[in-house]
Amino acid sequence: MNAWLVLETGEVYSGLWHSGKDRAGEVVFNTSHSGYEEIATDPSYFGQIVCLTAPMMGNYGVDQNVWESRRLWIEGFICLQVQDSDRDRSWIKRLDEDGIPLVSCLDTRGLVLRLRSGGTPWGALVQAETEAEAREKAAPLIAAKKTIDKDWVAAVSRREVEVRPGRRADGPRLAVLDFGSKENILRELENHASELRLYPSRASARDILASQPDGIMLTNGPGDPADVRVATETVRELIGKKPIFGICMGHQILGLALGGKTYKMKFGHRGSNHPIKDDLLGRIYMTSQNHGYAVDRATLPEDVRVTHVNLNDQTVAGIYSEKRRCLGIQYHPESCPGPHDARDLFRFFTEKMT
Partner 1 sequence: MPRRQDLRKVLIIGSGPIVIGQACEFDYSGTQACKALMAEGLEVILVNSNPATIMTDPEIATRVYVEPLRVEFLEKILEKEKPDAVIPTLGGQTALNLALELHSKGILQRHGTRLLGATPEVIKAAEDRELFRDILDEIGAKYPASHLVRTYEQGLKVAEELGYPLILRPNYTLGGGGGGIAFSPEGYQQMLVQALHESPTTEVLVEASILGWKEFELEVMRDGAGTFVVVCSIENLDPCGVHTGDSITVAPQQTLSDREYQAMRDEACKIIEKVGIQTGGANVQFAVHPATGERVVIEMNPRVSRSSALASKATGFPIAKIAALLAIGYRLEEIRNDITKTTPSCYEPALDYVVTKIPRFAFEKFAGARDMLTTQMKSVGEVMGIGRTLQESLMKALASLEQSPQGIPEVAFATDKLSYPNSQRILHLFQAFRDGKSVAEVESLTSITPWFLEQIEAIVKFERTLRDEFPRHPERVLRDAKRRGFTDARIAAVTGGDERDILDLREKYRLFPKYQQVDTCAGEFESATPYFYSSYWPERSVALDFSHPVVVIGSGPNRIGQGIEFDYSCVRGVKAFRRAGKKVAMVNSNPETVSTDYDTSDVLFFEPLTAESLHEILRFTQAEGFVAQLGGQTPINIAPKLVQQGHRLLGSSLEAIDLAEDRGLFSKICRELDFHIPNSAMAGSLEEALESEKNVGYPMICRPSYVLGGRRMEVIESHEELLSYFQRHGDYITMDRPCLMDQFLAGALEVDVDLVRGADWCVVGGIVEHIEAAGVHSGDSMGVLPPQRLKDETCRRMEAMSIRLAERLGIIGHLNLQLAVKDDIIYILEANPRSSRSVPFIVKAAGIPLVDLGVSAMLGRSRDEVKPERYDWRRGDTVSVKGVVFPFKKFPEADSILGPEMKSTGESMGRGADYSDALMKAFLSSHMALPQKGEIFLSLRDKDKEPLLPLLKELSGMGYSFSATAGTAGFLEKKGLACLPLRKVHEGRPHCVDRIRSGEVSFVINTTTGRRSIEASFNIRRACTDYSIPCVTESDAAEAFILALKNVRRGSIAVNPLPPMEAP
Among 81, 191, 194, 299, binds partner 1 (CB under 8 A): 81
CA dihedral for 15, 16, 19, 20, sign (positive or negative): positive
Among 9, 70, 71, 113, binds partner 1 (CB under 8 A): 113
Task: State the DSSP H helix or E strand holding residue 232, giving kind and residue range, or none if neither.
Answer: helix 229-238
Return d(Cα 50, Cα 27) in angstroms, integer: 6
Helix (H, G, I), strand (E, B) or coil at 218: strand
Shortest gap between Cβ of 254 and partner 1 (angstroms)? Answer: 26
Closest CB to partner 1 among residues 119, 339:
339
Amino acid at 194: S
Q: How many CB atoms lie within 10 A of CB 99?
A: 12
Among 28, 54, 125, 175, binds partner 1 (CB under 8 A): 54
- Upstream peptide bond of 301 is cis (omega within 30 degrees of 0): no
Shortest gap between Cβ of 322 and partner 1 (angstroms)? Answer: 24
Q: What's the chain's Rg over C-alpha atoms?
A: 20
Does the annotation mark 190 as catalytic? no
Among 20, 25, 35, 215, binds partner 1 (CB under 8 A): 35
Instruction: Decide: is 87 part of the binding site for partner 1 (CB under 8 A).
Output: yes
Dihedral in degrees, nearest 10, Cα atoms 306, 219, 227, 301: -20
Does the annotation mark 136 as catalytic? no
CA dihedral for 64, 69, 74, 75, sign (positive or negative): positive
CA dihedral for 261, 246, 332, 319, sign (positive or negative): positive
Helix (H, G, I), strand (E, B) or coil at 206: helix
Among 90, 93, 96, 107, binds partner 1 (CB under 8 A): 107
Out of 248, 251, 308, 336, the active site residue is 248
Contacts of 203 (CB under 8 A, 6+ apart): 161, 177, 234
Return d(Cα 294, Cα 264) in angstroms, integer: 7
Closest CB to partner 1 among residues 112, 198:
112
Which 146-205 positions form the footprint of partner 1 (CB under 8 A)?
Answer: none
Among 272, 330, 350, 354, binds partner 1 (CB under 8 A): 272
Instruction: Decide: is 59 part of the binding site for partner 1 (CB under 8 A).
Output: yes
Among 60, 130, 136, 146, binds partner 1 (CB under 8 A): 60
- Which window, 188-196, 197-205, 226-234, 309-317, contacts partner 1 (CB under 8 A)? 309-317
List the one residue out of 32, 346, 335, 345 whose CA is nearest residue 184: 335
- Which window, 197-205, 241-249, 284-292, 345-353, contacts partner 1 (CB under 8 A)? 284-292
Shortest gap between Cβ of 23 and partner 1 (angstroms)? Answer: 24
Amino acid at 259: G
Angle of helix 249-257 relative to helix 229-238, nearest 10 degrees, comes to: 70
Does the annotation mark 105 as catalytic? no
Shortest gap between Cβ of 112 and partner 1 (angstroms)? Answer: 4
Closest CB to partner 1 among residues 21, 277:
277
Closest CB to partner 1 among residues 49, 336:
336
List of residues contacting partner 1 (CB under 8 A): 29, 31-35, 38, 53-56, 59-60, 63, 66, 80-81, 83, 85, 87, 107-110, 112-113, 116, 271-275, 277, 283-286, 311-313, 335-341
Active site residues: 248, 332, 334
